[in-house]
Amino acid sequence: MAGSTVPSKAHPSKVQDSPEGDDVARRLLGSAAQLAYDPATEVDWETPLDKEFHGASPEWSTLYGTPYWRELTEAQRKELTRQEAASVASTGIWFEMILQQMVLRDIYMKDPAGAEFQWALTEIAEECRHSIMFARGAQKLGAPHYRPRRGVMELGRAFKTLAFGEAAYAAILVAEEVLDVMQRDWMRDERVVPFVRTINNIHVVEESRHMKFARDETLKRLEGAGWARRQINAFVVAVASYFIVTSMVNPEVYRRAGLDRKRALAAAKGNEHHKSMMRSSCSGLMDFLASARLLTKPALAFYKRANLI
């Protein structure tokens, strides 16, 4: 993600580029030039789906460890993880579209010759490829187009239009970091279908650059920020994070996997194992938000509701 590095109360598109910001962007551009992937050729799209594999590490399933999970056949478990992986991918597409629009708005008046501007377009190009990759991956997993609830979609529409500065970049970071931890497990797990492991590997490698920039931008935008501004943005980021994380697994995955939707939802809601997985995966992220003084009491309430802390 690209943006300015000089704190300002003005809209970020009016903030000028800085030498320090260009230095970070140049390093990221160099990384992208050396290590980038084309999912169209890197992912095996031709081999038919092998249903002997999971779609994600079973331990990441929302039902793993519950009595209901123990009742499922191995085939049902594998189908559930495939549907859950497809749902996470669909949520990823939704937020990547929000991300791209926020970044484009952020660089609207920047110098096209600057490294920050060019990094922003490089990141957007990577996100476009990721979205296509996720869409094809979900389709190959035999999943429908999962999407967040209509109300959440409309909140996302408002967020992408109004969020800027540290609120935009910190929310981007939360979405990317949560997905990153999951995918690092999935890409190493030989129980996961090979083409999904490749997708996860591509996303982890390229998103590491995006997360680096998001962290850097969040801190720079907060330089000189007063108490009120931090309180407001901490709350906005926490609310956005709550809706992103709670939208990752669509309730329809249970019906699609042939399970009792109502019973599965109740089991998932009370699944302490999954909550623990989410909390442990976000420990580094929460440390960062705390260091940026974005873990206010109101914000903590939303992170706890999303089982991120």
- Closest by CA to 167, choosing from 104, 209, 221, 245, is 221
Measure Cα distances from 4 to 48, 166, 184 in Å: 45, 11, 30
Q: pTM for this one?
A: 0.90
**Least confident among 50-59, 128-137, 173-182:** 173-182
Helices of type H across 74-193 = 74-106, 115-140, 150-162, 165-188
Q: Other C-beta atoms within 10 Å of 158: how many?
A: 9
Indicate the pLDDT class of residue 222, thresholds 50, 70 and 90. Answer: very high
Residue 10 is predicted with a pLDDT of: 35
Whether the pLDDT of residue 276 is over 50: the answer is yes
Whether the pLDDT of residue 11 is over 60: the answer is no
Whether the pLDDT of residue 207 is over 60: the answer is yes
At 198, list the tokens.
């490749």
Residue 91 is predicted with a pLDDT of: 95
Indicate the pLDDT class of residue 22, thresholds 50, 70 and 90. Answer: confident
Q: Do 163 and 236 contact (CB within 8 A), yes or no?
A: yes
Place of tokens 């903590």: 300
Pairwise CA distance, residues 175 & 223, whole Å: 23
Residue 59 is predicted with a pLDDT of: 98
Q: What mean pLDDT comes out for the span 73-92?
A: 98
Mean pLDDT, the chain, integer: 92
Whether the pLDDT of residue 229 is over 80: the answer is yes
Whether the pLDDT of residue 1 is over 90: the answer is no
Residue 19 is predicted with a pLDDT of: 56
